Structure 1
């Protein structure tokens, strides 16, 4: 009798990702690579958020990691920017190797300063948690 394949168990989310993850925000993120593979990125984002608690699995270093990283460079869509950074921070804490620590850089601080106060506080708390876990410097 063949064994049933059990999906990998993912840790509980560290941050309130779903409060920012409406379809419009996810569609914005999924188009970050000039619209290339937008539907694949959207499907992968939904998978990460709905079934993986915001953690990326093996094989997701392009779909959706690429658009998460690209969206994290621009605060023009505050909810998308914040959601992407929360996903990145959570994955850095968890030991994912697909993102880099940008949290001590001036550009990041400048972009955060332009966000609504609530989102600034959310990211500041997430960065503090990541520092406490040794996942980021600064």
Structure 2
């Protein structure tokens, strides 16, 4: 869990912008400010008021790992896992994420891959127990 938090809190300004623009750039400044709050004030755990700003762009960013944007992909997946573990996200399925994204997780640099897979596995166990 500590590595996951360290990863999301290491987000750069350009990475914030990339994720914030995932919805075709629509209202990206609003997404960006909400994303900063989600990461730096809430440790990546979304609340009910943030399901659109910024969670929509987080969810969009986790579906594909674009070249040179591996960290953004990893950060988005970690935020979803943290929100599941925090009990705030009851709609995303870690099993479905593993099924659909395992190929992308395998292409991540080893350090990022380990963080993402480890936190998603914890979230999967949490979902199975809930």
- TM-score between both structures, scaled by the size of structure 1: 0.80
Distance 1:14 1:58, change over 3 A: same
- Which structure has the larger Rg? 1
**Paired residues for 1:1-138 under 5 Å:** 15-16=5-6, 17-19=8-10, 21-76=11-66, 77-97=69-89, 99-104=91-96, 105-132=98-125, 134-135=126-127
8 A Cα contact 1:27 1:42, kept in partner: yes
Shift in Å, 1:136: 5.7
Where does the alignment leave 5 or more consecutive residues of structure 2 unmatched? none
Separation (CA, whole Å) in 1 of partners of 2:74 and 2:87: 20
Shift in Å, 1:135: 2.3
> What is the root-mean-square deviation of aligned Cα atoms in Å?
2.2
Aligned length: 124
Q: Kindly indicate which of the two structures has a greater share of residues assigned to helix.
A: 2
8 A Cα contact 1:88 1:99, kept in partner: no
